[in-house]
Structure 1
Amino acid sequence: MISLNANYDERGLLGLAFHPNYSSNGLLYVYYTAPPNAGGPAPGEMWNNISRISEFQVSGTDPNTVMAGSEKIILEIDQPQGNHEGGTIAFGPDNYLYISIGDGGSSNDVAPGHVEDWYEVNEGGNGQDVEANLLGNILRIDIDGGVPYSIPGDNPFVGSDGLDEIYAYGFRNPFRFSFDMGGDRRLFVGDAGQNLYEEISVVENGGNYGWNVKEGTHCFDASDNENVLDDCPNTDNLGNELIDPVIEMNNANNPAGGSTVTIIGGYVYRGSIPELSGQYVFGSFSKDFEPTGEVFFANPSGPGLWDFEELDFKSTTEDIGYYLKGFGQDLEGEIYLAVSEMLGPAGNTGKIYKIGLVDDE
């Protein structure tokens, strides 16, 4: 793995997923950032790292140990910058492996390594390109169908212009996503915004989720990311609608006021707390780059933007008192918080909390 910056880093060990048949085959998959290849995205520019998806085999004698020598590289993507890595991998209800990849980093989707696309107003960007690279997308591959993988036949660009691995596109940094373990098994993706808006989207096969034509529901201006353009297209060059998010939050930098640095995608709650049943639980990394993360919930139904409210905990006051770095969900539908007092990957303050009821008696 590439060496990390202790104070702040968006690289590292980013995702892990167990094969649907793990109990019998012992296979698991890891997303991590590896040292870069030689060369770079432009003359005089070097690659920053490699986004690598690898398969590992659990030890036959110790079920808590993975055999390091069993690594089989599944997919590698050159990354031009060190941020916007995406990072979630998960098997969907169709048993295909889904992978979130950010737009390549830097800002506004216009730096070296960010290609030209159809939207000339913002001078291109990986989010809206589907041919040059896999950046800015949700990918879907069939681990069991080939070596190292095959492509599901209904991926949107199979048989047409566009990279076959792409499932959905138009993302900036889809850091965390999840599938509802109940209901219609919808895919929820949290996409970190630039300076004004953060968003959660319900993602479907072939969908275009707008970046960098839009930030949230608003027309984005790459030349001034604190300005909202008066107008922008509603469809892309392929005739696909630019799909708005279902949840939008103001970023802390928004001049109109905001209380989140980065949105953290969560899960639909399917656990034992009746009041939360079926609610989408998500969060804020921090309000102000201090350990002030928050947790929210929304009823995932209806057209347009969904209302949401903060989830209050008896053990905290205005916020959770930590940076919120991710969520988890167990097989019973209960939800967990991954938190730390440290902004970056350093120290030993990391904790896992479980959302649960408190017996006042």
Structure 2
Amino acid sequence: MQARVYLFSVYGSWVNLYDCCLKAGTFLPVQRTPFKLKTSLEFCPYNGTGCCDLHQDLQLEKRFQQMNISNPRCASLVKSVLCARCNQFSAQLFRIESEARNVPVLCYFTETGDLDDFCTDIWNNCGDIPILNSPFIKLQRKDHFSFNTSLTKLENEWKSRGYFCEAFGSSSADEYTCFDGKNAIYGIARAPQSIKGLCLEKVGHGSYINMIPHPDNSNRVFVSNLKGKIWLSTIPQVGSKEILKMDELKPFLDLTNQVLLDPESGLMGITFHPNFEQNGRFFVSYICDKLRHEGCQGRCSCNTDIYCDPSKILPNNGIKPCQYHYVVAEFTANGSASKPYLAKTAYAVEVRRIFTMGLQYTGGHAGQILFGPADGYLYLMTGDGSQGVHSSNLAQNKRSLLGKILRVDIDNMPSDDEVEKLSLYGNYTIPTDNPYKSDNELAPEVWALGFKNPWRCSFDTERPSYFMCGDAGQDNYEEVDIVTKGGNYGWSIYEGPYVSHPANSSSSASTFIFPVSGYNHSAEDRNSGSASIIGGYFYRSMTDPCMYGRHFRYLFTDVYQIAIWAATEVPTNSGNFTTESIIFSCANDSPIQCSPRTGSTLPDLGYIFSLAEDNLKDLYILTSTGVYRVARPSRCNYHCQAIFSSVPSSIKASPLSIFLLFSLFFMKYVL
């Protein structure tokens, strides 16, 4: 995998230099690119891309234990300093281009107050604490720091906080990357810059609704269409001019004889067990018709538990209530190859039926499924099925599973008594911390409620607590929500921020969680005549440095390609977002030439079905006209000043940095 942090040259190219690690035992970045961690480290809090393997993590833990720090807060701060070596930008944090040091550059406060005062935090909490083998020792050589073998205190080594932070820190006036205890931050704090544009390249002809990265962290993905076929495909390398590779005549799995295909039904979701590489388990969600598909039979969502009588619901275009069913089934890749992750096909016979629920209505099913990265439970998205505001108000009915996000345990089988007692819809158990434990009115499967049609949700890879969903509206508003345990998101009493159905006496605005972003139909659908949100992702790829910065940006779009939006969170972790529409265009050197819209130079994406990520976190747009990938901005003549939060927009040239730059260039470390 090529490292990809960027230095902007006068020629408009982005060259990778600073996304690199310290070489083990040295201060050199050569041949030490960050890598994808297959398992979380035991000591240092890195579980994505980093610079430490399990052996190096253990070494750091031993070094930390030898320090024998008595104060818990000081110990926590020193641990974070040691673990900075595992940060994917450690070469820049340790200033490998100009000096050698065992402590990363620490962010500290200046009169402008731009940065978190991490350096002062260490001084205040560790100043009078004895530390054995302290990394903060003062040596004779200027700007060179090493571990000391004696017991020392900061206040004995340094005259004051100012001297300490001058030696180890970087102020907001410096053009350096500094460490704030968790992240690498560029020293000069800036407000989010407006995005010049999003550059796309077309890498596939097919029309797919899902793209799921292969669990083996390779460059392979699974793609699926509504009809019920899943293919294993290889992602082309950025800049290779190649396209998605797959054998369309040999799908990984073909469920077309079990799946109902109509404009709002089909194969809805795919997800792989967290231990797929060992157990070969994966899961598919789809809609079926009990009159046409064998085994399409389950408990009706209109039942006495929610005071619903299906005989009182009129057929919709001849389709009776609960004729259609929402199914989640387990399949296996075991047996088709020596190891599950090598499998190129899977058996079309389901291993276990996880969930089956009869649907009251014929549309608005949602249907995506995801495993929670932190808890390993399966999340199911369900729509309320409504085509308007219904008096039944299913999304607010706590016993109904419609208009909800559900959370179940598929690793443990329920007993017959549990199925009957909890009125379960299949073979799963209920996590012990689901919200119903504190709200006995809730159905045990419910994690959050008050949704109309949650279309595409994602967990942020860097902050798994950020569970983002795009929820399609009715007539007025499309919304983006941060989903939390037990949260009520308002539909159908509210549509986004607007009252749509007056609440009863037991409900008030304070009961509901309002969207963090979204858009009004009146402002966006003048030309298309409609609008329906496609939820997306926080942009975490390093392909577009204008997008991945200090301020986190969540990208989402609309099925009618009305626009692509970026919701920027400021400040970080605040939950406050500012949303802007982004211009998008297609690179002239796209592997597949993009067709322009009629009367426009903009690419014609057709209908947008989903956004997707691969294992490198590159972002894709799945549409009716093909598969598009976010490309380098320079390929569309877009440029920006801000780089990553972890990388400066300009660097102070040194002989070593210039040498590394041109060495990397000629070694083809160029995007």
TM over 0.5: yes
Using the TM superposition, give the Cα deviation of residue 254 of structure 1 relative to its aligned residue in structure 2, in angstroms: 8.3
Q: Please state whether the residue corresponding to 2:277 is helix, strand or coil.
A: helix
Q: After TM superposition, give the deviation of residue 155 of structure 1 in Å.
A: 0.9
State whether structure 2 residue 540 is matched by structure 1 residue 236. Answer: no
Name the CA distance, whole Å, in 1 between partners of 2:380 and 2:388. 21
Which residue does 2:212 correspond to in 1?
none
Q: Is the 8 A contact 2:569 2:576 kept in 1?
A: no
**Following TM superposition, by how much is the alpha carbon of 1:356 offset from its aligned partner in structure 2, in angstroms?**
1.4
Tell me the CA shift for residue 322 of structure 1.
Answer: 1.5
Percent identity, please.
30
Distance 1:157 1:258 in 2: 41
Name the Cα RMSD after superposition: 2.8
Task: Please name the residue that 1:340 is paired with.
Answer: 624
Paired position in structure 2 for 1:90:
370
Q: Deviations over 1:82-107 (max 9, x none)?
A: 11101211111211111100002332
| 1:310 Cα deviation from its structure 2 partner | 1.7
Deviation of the 1:145 alpha carbon: 2.8
CA contact (8 A) 2:279 2:334 kept: no
Q: State the shift of 1:193 in Å.
A: 0.3
Match of 2:398 in 1: 130
User: Which of structures 1 and 2 has the bigger CA Rg?
Assistant: 2
Asked if 1 retains the 8 angstrom alpha-carbon contact of 2:567 and 2:577, the reply is no
CA contact (8 A) 2:407 2:431 kept: yes
The CA deviation at 1:359 is 5.0
- Which of 480, 485, 502 is matched with 1:200 structurally? 480
Distance 2:448 2:469 in 1: 11
Deviates more, 1:267-276 or 1:194-203: 267-276
| 1:158, distance to aligned residue in structure 2 (A) | 2.8
Instruction: Map Cα deviations across residues 315-351 of structure 1 (whole Å, 9 max, x no partner).
Output: 464464311100111222111111004xxxxxxxxx2
Q: How does 1:66-145 map onto structure 2 within 5 Å?
A: 66-93=346-373, 94-108=375-389, 110=390, 123-131=391-399, 133-145=400-412
The answer to whether residue 573 in structure 2 is matched with residue 296 in structure 1 is no
Amino acid at match of 1:357: R
Write the deviation string for residues 174-200 of structure 1: whole angstroms up to 9, x where unpaired.
021010011354100110000111101
Give the structure 2 partner of residue 276 of structure 1: 547
Consecutive unaligned residues in structure 1, runs of 5 or more: 111-122, 222-230, 287-291, 342-350
Q: Which has the higher contact order (CA 8 A, sep 6+)?
A: 2
Q: Which ranges in structure 2 are unaligned for 5 or more consecutive residues? A: 1-257, 291-296, 303-309, 338-342, 415-426, 588-595, 638-671
Q: 1:190 to 1:258 in 2, by over 3 A?
A: same
- Name the amino acid aligned to 2:487: G
Matches within 5 A, 1:204-219: 204-219=484-499
- The count of aligned residue pairs is 320
The 8 Å contact of residues 395 and 451 in structure 2, kept in 1 or not, is answered as yes
Question: Which sits farther off after the overlay, 168-177 or 270-279?
Answer: 270-279
Using the alignment, how far apart are the partners of 2:576 and 2:530 within structure 1? 21
Deviations 1:61-93 (A, max 9, x none): 341211112331101111111111012111112
TM, length-normalised to structure 2:
0.45
The corresponding residue for 2:335 is 60
Provide the rounded CA distance (Å) in 1 between the counterparts of 2:496 and 2:603: 24
Judge conservation of contact 2:448–2:488 (CA < 8 Å) in 1. yes
Pair 1:325 & 2:592 matched: no
The answer to whether the Cα contact below 8 Å between 2:369 and 2:380 also exists between their aligned partners in 1 is yes
Question: What displacement does 1:293 show?
Answer: 4.8
Displacement after TM superposition at 1:252 (Å): 5.4
Letter in 2 for 1:285: V
**Structure 1: how far apart are the matches of 2:526 and 2:346?**
49
Q: CA deviation at 1:260?
A: 5.5
Q: Rate the CA distance shift 1:25–1:79 in 2: closer, same or farther, 3 A.
A: same
Deviates more, 1:245-254 or 1:200-209: 245-254
What letter is aligned with 1:242?
F
Q: Between Structure 1 and Structure 2, which shows a larger proportion of strand residues? A: 1
